[in-house]
A = this chain, B = another copy of it.
Amino acid sequence: MQSTSISNVISSDRVEGTKVYNPSGDKLGTIDDLMIDKLTGHVRYAVMEFGGFLGMGTDRYPIPWNVLKYDTSQDGYVVPIDKAMLEGAPRYAQDQIPDYDDRYSATINKYYGL
């Protein structure tokens, strides 16, 4: 049972590792990192590691924050993404974080229809 005093915030330390599901309830993977706008403090991208049943290896996938929906019942995020979409999605190797400049941001946002 949850406490009756529900916290609406989560520590950045703890977001890392939060599970990500598709709309069918399958676990896709976990959030590995967050990309935060330095000036406004908005989380712009969640960087996901898809280590689940899709077997996509250890690449990192930046997903626009607005694409994720937090589902309190699953205590995780739900994304409307299937394997075909992931296969063409922007990604990078774990140890090769790109410069998230305007061009790269535009590439990500365009891919997800934003």
Task: Tell me the bound Cα distance from A100 to B101 in angstroms.
Answer: 33
Residue ID in chain B nearest A99 by CB atoms: B7
**In the complex, chain B residues whose CB is within 8 Å of the CB of A5:** 99, 101, 103
Binding site for B on A (CB under 8 A): 3, 5-13, 15-16, 33-39, 41-45, 47, 65, 68, 70, 97, 99-103, 105
Chain B residue nearest to A102 (CB atoms) is B8
CB of B10 within 8 A of CB of A35, answer: yes
8 interchain pairs (CB within 8 A)?
Answer: A5-B99, A5-B101, A9-B105, A10-B35, A10-B36, A11-B35, A39-B70, A41-B68
Instruction: Pick from B6, B10, B34, B37: contact of A8, CB below 8 A.
Output: B37
Verify A42–B41 contact, CB threshold 8 A: yes
A86–chain B nearest beta-carbon distance, Å: 21
Cβ–Cβ < 8 Å partners of A3 in chain B: 99
- Which chain B residues lie closer than 8 Å to A11 at the CB level? 33-36, 47, 97
